[in-house]
Amino acid sequence: MLRGKTALVTGSTSGIGLGIAQALAAEGCAIMLNGFGDTAAIERLRRDLVNRHEVKVVYNGADLSRPEQVRELVADAAARLGPVDVLVNNAGIQHVAPIEQFPEAKWDAIIAINLSAAFHAIKAALPAMRNRGWGRIVNIASAHGLVASEDKAAYVAAKHGLVGLTKVAALEAASSFVTCNAICPGWVLTPLVEKQIADRAAANKTSVEYEQRELLREKQKLLAFTTPEQIGAMVVFLCGEAASTMTGAAWSVDGGWVAQ
Ligand code: NAD
């Protein structure tokens, strides 16, 4: 079903986005990669995807904090691969601090990258999806799109906003058979979370292994990290026939985090 379709995955040079790009490439999608990182390492990732899955893979390093670059990214994907059929808004950053000490610039950056970029990308990609009467939009939100934690004001606000945007996009696009869903992961061991674990180990004078166990114990009944591959498989499912009437929902993949 996905063979020959074009997928744009934002923030796909690392972590969850890379897992999603790999899963969609394995289904036969042409992939537009996006994200920051070492140029040679990104080129290796790109070539590896091409060799393993025999699909077209291109890269655009658009900075998603800049609305005009988000629009150019969608246009570039369409120009080089064909109009975007599958849009995965995944790029995201984190900053951890109490509100009184939260830097304004960090608030602005998190809202821009984790929330506004998804709006600009959906706005740019939706017309071509409507024209073809098919499209899949998947927003990578978080357990923090449904519940809060201390010291994550911008992230929790952005992710709650992303779940709201998901619902509105789903309602507006439904008449064109375009679906829009959010995935809400719990802990996934990626550079974004590894930094939080390392910071905690340094602050508490403990080990990384100890803080990994504590992180899980604080939030999830099921004491295991979700993998990027599992989130990739969930995206593939949401793009498939079985999910063609699933829209406007926030799907938890979180070890029981928000069930409590
Ligand atoms: P990560 O740090 O491994 O990857 C983030 C990606 O976004 C990278 O490719 C990075 O280059 C890219 N990126 C960052 N700023 C960008 C910008 N301005 N423009 C373009 N690309 C940019 O993090 P991850 O854990 O894989 O996170 C991916 C998404 O999953 C994020 O939205 C995050 O909030 C969400 N998420 C992560 C977890 C987790 O436990 N790791 C849990 C729930 C939700």
pLDDT at 47: 98
131 and 199 both lie in a single domain: no
The best mutation among 188, 211, 220, 252 to test binding of ligand 1, ranked by most ligand atoms within 8 Å of the C-beta, falls on 188
What pTM does this model have?
0.98
Residues 91, 17 contacting (CB under 8 angstroms): yes
pLDDT tens sequence across 135-175: 999 999 999 999 999 999 999 999 999 999 999 999 999 99
Domain count, the chain: 2
**Residues of the chain with pLDDT > 90: what percent?**
99
Residue 259 domain-assigned?
no
Which mutation among 192, 220, 229, 251 tests ligand 1's pocket best, with the greatest number of atoms within 8 A of CB? 192
pLDDT digits (tens, 9 = 90+) for 179-233: 999 999 999 999 999 999 999 999 999 999 999 999 999 999 999 999 999 999 9
- 45 plus 108 within the same structural domain: yes
DSSP class per residue in 163-221:
HHHHHHHHHHHGGGTEEEEEEEE--B-SHHHHHHHHHHHHHHT--HHHHHHHHHHHH-S
Task: Decide whether any atom of ligand 1 lies within 6 Å of the 252 Cβ.
Answer: no
Sheet containing 30-34, strands listed edge to edge, beginning at the edge strand earlier in sequence: 57-60, 30-34, 6-9, 86-89, 135-140, 178-185, 250-253
Specify if 260 maps to a domain.
no
Domain, as residue range, for 232: 6-187+227-253
Q: Is residue 1 part of a domain?
A: no
Rounded to the nearest whole angstrom, what is the distance from the C-alpha of residue 131 to the centroid of ligand 1? 30
258 is a domain residue: no
- Residues 172 and 199 grouped into a single domain: no
Known active-site residue 155 = yes
- Do 211 and 90 lie in a common domain? no
In terms of domains, do 136 and 183 share one? yes
Classify residue 48: in a domain, yes or no: yes
pLDDT of res. 1? 86
- Out of 59, 107, 155, 225, pick the active-site residue: 155
Distance CA 216, CA 146 (A): 17
Nearest CA, atom 23, ligand 1? 192
* CA-wise closest residue to 236 among 78, 88, 62: 88
- Domain assignment present for 28: yes
Residue 14 lies in a domain: yes
19 and 137 belong to one structural domain: yes
For residue 64 and ligand 1, the question of a CB distance below 6 A is answered with yes
46 part of a folded domain: yes
- Residue 108 and residue 118 in contact, taking contact as beta carbons nearer than 8 Å: no
Q: Who's near 89: CB < 8 A, 6+ residues apart?
A: 10, 117, 118, 121, 122, 137, 138, 139, 140, 162
Residue 194 CB less than 6 A away from ligand 1: no
Strand 135-140, strand 86-89: pairing = parallel
